[in-house]
Structure 1
């Protein structure tokens, strides 16, 4: 696990966009794992700018969304398919149907989850997965207590997660769905490279457990300690609880330019 601490979200966005651009340059048909929420916004903004400038193209690429609310109508603005389209997909040059997501409107939710897993496998697996992290350490919607071997499935959201997400629903907690479909922790671990983004003091406790804590289902993101290629991009506030933060800074300063992330 590589930990990179920089000044702000804009710098984080640039580093992650560099990695994605480099991947697409050497593998134009790469498969990207796309997260929603506030953490990846700077990445998507930077990639959209580069696409407009002709510096990167997604024409041959595929994308898979991490998770989806259950029960929101297809036209709801907070349905994650609509969120990712507005935040990223419609701003770059993905081909028609190139981005897929779990179907939270399906009549048979277990079958929808199995079909989604099959679609990822059929695409050759995810080359680079973008992740955020919840204040309770969840990644995707794998809440505390999630099986470390879990695959895409239906989950009940914790009250903490629903409270954190209420800002997207007019601060109305009752409007936030109680269930979701989410890639499982084992599904996420199948990605060849994981880039996790975190900013702000409210993420510091979760980041501390992710990077320096024990692997535990109570802090689901800690399973990433078992992944061979994880990059954690943090601002100063999110890194404030890390005991080895000076070492992480020194390591990044000394890193050869050719190595990338």
Structure 2
């Protein structure tokens, strides 16, 4: 596992975009794992810039999102599929239907979650996964205590996560859904390459547990130690609890 600390978010964006550009050059049909939230925004902006310049195309690629709220209307601006369209897909050239997200409005969410997991496998798995992390160490919506071999499923969101996400709902915690559909930790760890991005002091405890702590499901982020090819890209604020400098 590589841990890279940088002062400049644009450096993080370039690092991830360089790898995605190289991947798509070698494998135009690559499957990307897409995260929402604030952490990957600079990466998506950098990829969109390269697309405008003609350096990169997603026309043959596919994408799978990490998670989705349960019960938000299909036109809700914070529905994660709408967020990824707004932040990324509308700016590049994925083919219609090439990017999928979990169905948070299915009549049987558990069955839909299992089908989503099978769809990722049928597509050949994720070539490169972008991850963020929650303040309590969750990745996707796998809250503390999630099983290391968990698959895509429906979960209850913790109050901490709902409070953290209330900033996207005008600060109203009650407007944040109580349930989600999320790829499981086992699903995520099957990706062939993972980039985790952590920004800001609110992520410092999680980064500290990842780098200096033990592997434990109490901090799901620490399970990344089980993956053979992970890069952790953090800013100085997110790194301020580390016991020793990395690179």
Quick check: TM above 0.5?
yes
Greater CA drift, 31-40 or 21-30 = 21-30
Greater CA drift, 74-83 or 3-12 = 3-12
Aligned equivalents of 1:6 and 1:27: distance in 2? 29
1:23-38 matches, cutoff 5 A:
23-38=23-38
Aligned equivalents of 1:22 and 1:244: distance in 2? 32
1:31, 1:127 within 8 Å by CA — same for their partners in 2? yes
Which residue does the alignment assign to 2:106?
106
Aligned equivalents of 1:47 and 1:163: distance in 2? 30
Tell me whether 1:160 sits opposite 2:155 in the alignment: no
| Deviation by residue 1:39-93 (Cα, 9 ceiling, x = unmatched) | 0000000000000110111001000000000000111000000000110011100
1:162-181 matches, cutoff 5 A:
162-181=162-181
Aligned equivalents of 1:173 and 1:6: distance in 2? 32
Aligned equivalents of 1:236 and 1:22: distance in 2? 27
| Deviation by residue 1:221-260 (Cα, 9 ceiling, x = unmatched) | 1110000000000111111111232xx22xxxxxxxxxxx
SS in 1 for 2:164: helix
1:24, 1:30 within 8 Å by CA — same for their partners in 2? yes
TM-score of the pair, normalised by structure 1: 0.93
Which residue does the alignment assign to 2:228?
228
Number of residue equivalences: 247
Instruction: Please report how far the alpha carbon of residue 202 of structure 1 lies from its aligned counterpart in structure 2 after TM superposition.
Output: 1.2
Spell out structure 1 runs of 4+ moving beyond 6 A: none
1:67-216 matches, cutoff 5 A:
67-216=67-216
| Deviation by residue 1:6-25 (Cα, 9 ceiling, x = unmatched) | 11222111111111111111
Unaligned segments of structure 2, at least 5 residues:
none
TM-score of the pair, normalised by structure 2: 0.99
SS in 1 for 2:74: coil
| Deviation by residue 1:162-191 (Cα, 9 ceiling, x = unmatched) | 000001001000000000000000000000
Which residue does the alignment assign to 1:244?
244
Q: How large is the RMSD of aligned CA atoms in angstroms? A: 0.7
Instruction: Please report how far the alpha carbon of residue 213 of structure 1 lies from its aligned counterpart in structure 2 after TM superposition.
Output: 1.1
Aligned equivalents of 2:8 and 2:198: distance in 1? 10
